[in-house]
Each structure stands twice: as C-alpha cells, then as structure tokens.
Amino acid sequence: MIALIINGRPRTFPAPLNVTGLIEQLELQGKRIALERNGEIVPRSKFGTMELSDGDALEIVVAVGGG
C-alpha cells in the first residue's frame, strides 16, 4: 500500500507506483499534464522511471484547450 497526497487530497493505492502507473490509475493517459513531486517539476521523460514514495505530495495540472 502506498499513500500519496494528490492536489492536496490523500489517496492510497494498493501497490508501489511510478508516475506512469499513477497517470494510468487516475485515467489521465493521453492528456497533456504537468506534474510536480514534493515541490519539483517532473519532466515527462522521467514519468516511466520515477518511482513514487509513500507520503509524496504531488500536484497534477491538466492542460485544457479552448478559446
């Protein structure tokens, strides 16, 4: 079990995750997102390799197009 804070709200997941796994769990795959982990921006190139740790605080922003 892993506990994370996502956009200020506590969430738990049954197993350790990397950023890509989290995005899939949150059903955000294919969307343009920016992710910050513990105050630091995570480059998209590291999503597949960055393992999340119990207690990490994440901020996730989804880009919305429009006019």
Asked if pLDDT for residue 66 goes beyond 90, the answer is no
Q: How many domains does the chain have?
A: 1
State residue 64's pLDDT score: 84
Asked if pLDDT for residue 67 goes beyond 70, the answer is no
- Tell me the whole-structure pTM to 2 decimals: 0.88
Range of the domain at 46: 2-62
Indicate which CATH number applies to the domain containing 14: 3.10.20.30
Tens of pLDDT, residue by residue over 3-53, are 999 999 999 999 999 999 999 999 999 999 999 999 999 999 999 999 999
Taking the alpha carbons of 18, 21, 25, 27 in that order, is the dihedral positive or negative?
A: positive
| 7 domain residue, yes or no | yes
Token pair belonging to 28: 């955000």
CA 62 to chain centre: 11
Token pair belonging to 19: 């950023």
